Chain A
């Protein structure tokens, strides 16, 4: 780091996340004046223009890349048109012990006076909950599933290379051509398309206006700047902002600023979950990097400083705050922006290059929460690149995470994408697969597998909420065979998937008709060509993902039930269920036997693993290929974020010996502590799942630092990764920390504020995690030797 970037980094780390009322105020004022006067897309684009035209700008001292979503770093705007926080929500955000957002009393006052009176009953969330059927709400309350889009917009998208080759004026020309080609006599949707295209054009104007204001600001600052060097920098910034995003970037600096303007535009218009991501940044930047070095206008060090400034901007942007269950399922400041490294080129060649190595060095040195990073490891990725990444990973920040680029391509081909689009795609968020710049791949919510087995043992009745939320599968006393039990489990899965999808069709249509994402549509193929919004099926590919949580817990539970009830006849199923309902009260010996003496997933034990693959296959059949509202299909993913803690809280004790309310397993990782044969056995178990049929799986592994010391340690990790990927594993991430250190950090957070751990698909500050999650991470097996 240079002195400049060290200071910017420290300022970013020290800034306190806060809530800004400015966006809500501008938007509400705009809506009051314009609601009912325009079509939905035009209204959205015009309100976006108002935000870009009027929001307070920020230009930090010494910054080279400029622009903030809020009025200052870590000031987070709200989106009352989606979810209108109550005054109580804001007070909770201000006072909650974890992931707190400071809320000034003036914001609560503004909300009480202006925002809430206008949006109460009008917000998308209010409309959604009015219209969702009761069985959806009951299943939601019981913790059968969550819904991402109840508080945040469909996001989860990543830029491809087109914004480095085209400016917004080029996009406007394409939009105009598309509008000119509309057939108002022959195409019944022509008017809708015209509105959408006009909205896209306004969105381009909005972002250009936003850049122009930054140029003006930089010029004004330069005029007053006494320091000659900074004055030159400010003039350069002004020149950059006069050029991009209207025109294609010409150099490395402009390329980074181009992405950053697009990023801010996407996350200002709507609060998509996840954020927005640059995708294959090393591949996109390479031509600018090489040209700069050749022309003598750029050095490795100056490129590095620009990239470091760029990284700080991501860290200045905590996630828009969630409330209630949704905060519990993803309680974190991170907004899941991630940078992809290496991977493949469009023509199938290795995509790693010298910028890959530069970025790995920056990741190593900066270790910020955001942006996150990952390496897409293909068969063609040089060992040296993977080992470089492993040396960074070994330091224990939890990133970069590692993806199997070849499997990622295969997964997308199975979904019907073209080979080139698949190669240009990759992973974002936690582990999710998408065709970058061409796909709306929307996460619709987590699915509680452990709850499905619980419902099967209770005839569809949820004991905690006292409501029937599942299918009537009968008294478990009548399950004469293990196959009967499994059939009841399957019936519950199918029933609740149906409930979830029925609700989801409404959610998707609400976004399609009321909340178009006009700027994102500009930069996502083929929204312009189709004259259709990103949220309405305009993208070339449209997948909706359901993320299943707890396959480890369910596998171990099925394994125990199969062996003890149906093979050994130790106790009848009805008796077993009574003991589970009592949380093992008076049955500690049975619980110990379940914990220690049954077959467990994660040990390369075919008895347990066969039940995992059977469960996975059943789940896949229940979800994959079901049509969504956008011409695409539902797909299955296996990832938890932090939802395994929430899902555990709403579940009774389970047959694997897990106590009532304790976390369920996360991702496709084994139950915490159940894996006893080391990391290769975990990977073998996990690889028995057919990863290619998913849209992403998440495998978390933790190592004590001693195990992976030295070159032998790096070589060992390298062997693990290569073999797991050879077996079609989708993703793996390593935590390299000692449990003792984590315990110490939990007891004395002040001394360990900077401690980053891999949680599940992302890294977070350990001290910001809930106590339950801290305990769960400590408990995850430490793969130490003797």
Chain B
């Protein structure tokens, strides 16, 4: 039984599957998408950060630059000594049983709302053994489970995790491989192949398409995406997720390049027309996951 590196446990999530959910964000991702909402979750190492908004400059850890995560240099003792909680770990090691015990605290809310637990990231498949174990434990408890994945991982790992998820949320970003490499730093060949295989075996599959202006929102990509999804069996619905500049500030805070600086969210009219195009192909489509 290995441990997992968890970036955040978000209770009362309403948009990562049905009902009231707890979303477990795993730390570490093989992709580096320009529009990532959680850039601090990309690195697969535990990190430390000193938050400007909380720091009272007590002088204990001034060698840690403000708002810029570092991998080493401080430890748990320093975190405990910080009076305001400004110095904190980004990513916590936990074992699957402890994590499951924690998320089961909201069981009543899952049961009354038809909700459950979603594993997201980062990329859960990057810690597939841990995530699969946690999913299995939750299913044994009768809790509805969901896996939110970019699909970039070995097929056996994906199949094994997906078998223990009542629902899979599968991200589909760009159909053209050259453009996919440029936007995410990785080829989409594995992602598309995995999705084809998954669609053959999994009964509950939602495709999640980020709509990022200037990156993938052009007609050519969206039509190719709709055509690809249409060719799959077993897709319940498509969520068009509008790009939100919230990630920008986090990129800045994480000391990372902000590749999309100044990009506005897609206009509502554009989303509506894209949704119409998907629906015209017979796909149940939402905007922002709000059914």
Contacts and interface: CB of A to CB of B under 8 A. Distances in A.
A712 B83 contact: no
Interface residues of A, number: 34
B85 A680 contact: no
B85 A596 contact: yes
Contact of B56 (A592, A715, A716): A592
Contact of A783 (B12, B13, B85, B246): B12
B56 A589 contact: yes
Interface stretch (A333-341, A632-640, A717-725): A717-725
A322 to B, nearest CB: 39
Contact of A723 (B58, B82, B112): B112
A720 B291 contact: no
B43 interface: no
Kindly name the residue among A683, A684, A723, A785 whose own CB sees the greatest number of chain B CB atoms within 10 A.
Answer: A723
A707 interface: yes
A711 B291 contact: yes
B142 to A, nearest CB: 16
Interface string A582-618: 0000001110110111000000100000000000000
A592 B83 contact: yes
A712 B85 contact: no
Nearest to A590: B83
B12 A678 contact: yes
Given A596-B54, A597-B85, A712-B14, A719 B105 contact: no
Given A680-B20, A709-B290, A719-B19, A727 B108 contact: yes
A168 to B, nearest CB: 46
Nearest to A597: B85
A411 to B, nearest CB: 20
Nearest to A683: B109
B231 interface: no
A588 B105 contact: no
Interface in A680-739: 680-681, 683-684, 707, 709-713, 715-716, 718-720, 722-723, 726-727
Contact of A786 (B11, B246, B290, B291): B246
B115 interface: yes
A590 B84 CA distance: 9
Interface in B10-65: 10-15, 19-20, 37, 54, 56, 58
B113 A723 contact: yes
Nearest to A606: B105
Nearest to B289: A712
A720 B109 contact: yes
Contacts of B11: 677-681
A684 B106 contact: yes
A590 B81 CA distance: 11
A691 to B, nearest CB: 15
Given A681-B11, A786-B246, A592 B109 contact: no
Contact of A718 (B82, B108, B113): B113
Contacts of B111: 723
A593 B86 CA distance: 11
Contacts of B290: 709-712
Given A723-B109, A723-B113, A716 B14 contact: yes
A710 B286 CA distance: 12
B141 to A, nearest CB: 16
Interface in B76-108: 80, 82-85, 105-106, 108
A355 B19 CA distance: 30
A719 B113 contact: yes
A712 B12 contact: no
Contact of A596 (B83, B105, B109): B83
A8 B111 CA distance: 46
B19 A715 contact: yes
A726 B20 CA distance: 15
Contact of B112 (A712, A726, A785): A726
Interface residues of B, number: 30
Contacts of B112: 719, 722-723, 726
Given A678-B12, A711-B290, A712-B14, A597 B20 contact: no
Nearest to A721: B112
A683 B107 CA distance: 12
A680 B83 contact: no
A719 B111 CA distance: 8
Nearest to B56: A592
Interface string B106-139: 1011011111000000000000000000000000
Interface string A647-684: 00000000000000000000000000000011111011
Given A677-B11, A719-B19, A596 B115 contact: no
Contacts of A590: 83
A164 B239 CA distance: 54
A519 B289 CA distance: 57
A133 B85 CA distance: 49
A116 to B, nearest CB: 56
Contacts of A726: 108, 112
Kindly name the residue among A588, A592, A711 whose own CB sees the greatest number of chain B CB atoms within 10 A.
Answer: A592
Contacts of B12: 678-680, 716, 720, 783
Contacts of B58: 589
A56 to B, nearest CB: 54
Given A719-B112, A720-B20, A712 B84 contact: no
A355 to B, nearest CB: 27
B84 A592 contact: yes
Given A589-B58, A681-B11, A715 B113 contact: yes
Contact of B105 (A593, A684, A720): A684
Contact of A719 (B37, B83, B115): B115
Given A589-B56, A723-B113, A596 B291 contact: no
A716 B85 contact: no
A589 B115 CA distance: 41
Interface in A759-786: 783, 785-786
Nearest to A676: B85
A446 B133 CA distance: 51
Contact of A597 (B83, B109, B113): B83
Kindly name the residue among A592, A711, A719, A783 whose own CB sees the greatest number of chain B CB atoms within 10 A.
Answer: A719
Nearest to B8: A786
Contacts of B20: 680, 716, 719-720, 723
A592 B32 CA distance: 37
B14 A604 contact: no
A595 B291 CA distance: 40
Kindly name the residue among A604, A707, A715, A718 whose own CB sees the greatest number of chain B CB atoms within 10 A.
Answer: A715
B289 A719 contact: no
A404 to B, nearest CB: 13
Kindly name the residue among B12, B13, B54, B291 whose own CB sees the greatest number of chain A CB atoms within 10 A.
Answer: B12
Given A588-B56, A680-B106, A680-B109, A712 B15 contact: yes
Contacts of B105: 604, 680-681, 684
A776 B11 CA distance: 25
Interface in B222-258: 246
B156 to A, nearest CB: 33
10 closest A-B pairs by CB: A719-B113, A722-B112, A710-B290, A723-B108, A723-B112, A592-B83, A719-B20, A596-B85, A716-B14, A723-B109
Given A593-B83, A712-B291, A722-B112, 20 more contacts: A588-B56, A589-B56, A595-B84, A597-B84, A680-B106, A683-B109, A684-B106, A709-B290, A710-B290, A711-B290, A712-B14, A716-B14, A719-B109, A719-B114, A720-B12, A723-B20, A723-B108, A723-B111, A723-B113, A786-B246
16 contacts: A589-B83, A593-B83, A593-B84, A596-B54, A597-B80, A597-B82, A597-B83, A604-B105, A680-B12, A680-B106, A712-B289, A715-B113, A720-B113, A723-B108, A726-B108, A785-B10
